[in-house]
Structure 1
């Protein structure tokens, strides 16, 4: 993998999106361990999207407006529910200390959020081939895809570690935590709106 690919992949992964917001919110609410489970869920969803793209289903998604719009609608609704849940501190989605959530639930939420984003398999189809010479074997595409997945996991772990390191200081200020809750809720809502306005 070229340095250009690794740098580009890092920029893409580090740009705040659904997975980053979910990882940060989960870490602040449940600590580093919860953040790492969130990272696992988001990473597993990336692997699924990679497999979908490699299987050629992304092309089907791209050409089927009904399928794309259906998945997009589910994703928008789920993100809006996440915004409401964070704002109202429901379903374990609190940025304040709360009863530990089972790892399976944290992982499942991470997987579901990212699976309902129809732009990800299309992103793989558009992004990865740019770093391959014409006529490259499928194995090279798989290698790049797994490299991107590993970069996603490493970046999200970094976010979780940073959030955990600042967690105690943030928790000491109820006012800051209140604003963080609103910020995360607004972020999920904004991501839902951006997905709603996106086109295949």
Structure 2
């Protein structure tokens, strides 16, 4: 069940920079390592609803219902655009500045969880990723999918933590460079806007 092929697949997927990674690095750069770990925790917990949807067949409903998919998708697009605005807004929650004004862990984690929760493709991803690695015994399917999903979440937490801590360390080199911070703010905003555009083009 937990084969080398599965672990390699998970590692490749988790290492690929996506919305969660960008958010975690932005938080690490702006608010430090502790805040980045809260972002990591939120991104990881945001996987749970999609894993449950895949296990109990809700992902199939999302896939077959154009309206349900569109509602979640456009909520996700709006949220990503809001994050882009927060990156360039003066005093925004994602904007980088020399003085550290850390948000509470709850708020950081909640925003991170919403990034994954409002991505309808994640449920379909689990529906496609997990079945090929099951043993084929129907009675064990739920347990096996939970186990594989737990491994995926653990890998997400570990890899995202590394991204976040690395970004927090890089923060020290940027504190005295206003131009670099302004460039990074615009870059993060641009990335979130691009991710919003890509999500807007997704189809069920």
Q: Normalising by structure 2, report the TM-score.
A: 0.93
| 1:184 corresponds to 2:188 | yes
Contact 2:31 2:168 survives alignment (8 Å):
no
5 Å matches for 1:84-163?
A: 84-96=85-97, 97-135=99-137, 137-138=140-141, 139-163=143-167
| 1:52 corresponds to 2:56 | no
Equivalent residue of 2:162, what SS?
helix
Cα drift, residue 167 of structure 1: 1.4
Cα drift, residue 118 of structure 1: 0.4
Change (3 A) 1:90 1:118: farther
Contact 1:24 1:159 survives alignment (8 Å):
yes
Structure 2: distance between partners of 1:159 and 1:89: 25
**Residues 123-164 of structure 1, C-alpha deviation per residue, up to 9 Å, x if partnerless?**
000011122243352211211111001111111001011112
Structure 1 vs Structure 2 CA RMSD: 1.3
**Residues 66-100 of structure 1, C-alpha deviation per residue, up to 9 Å, x if partnerless?**
00001101100110111111111454222224322
Q: Normalising by structure 1, report the TM-score.
A: 0.95
Structure 2: distance between partners of 1:182 and 1:152: 26
| 1:79 corresponds to 2:74 | no
Residue among 190, 193, 197 paired with 2:197: 193
Structure 1: distance between partners of 2:35 and 2:20: 14
Aligned residues: 200
Structure 1: distance between partners of 2:3 and 2:91: 44
| 1:164 corresponds to 2:168 | yes
| 1:29 corresponds to 2:33 | no
Cα drift, residue 121 of structure 1: 0.6
Change (3 A) 1:89 1:5: farther
**Residue in 1 aligned with 2:4?**
3
Contact 2:35 2:108 survives alignment (8 Å):
yes
Structure 2: 5+ residue stretches without partners: none
Equivalent residue of 1:98, what SS?
coil
**Residue in 2 aligned with 1:43?**
44
Equivalent residue of 2:127, what SS?
helix
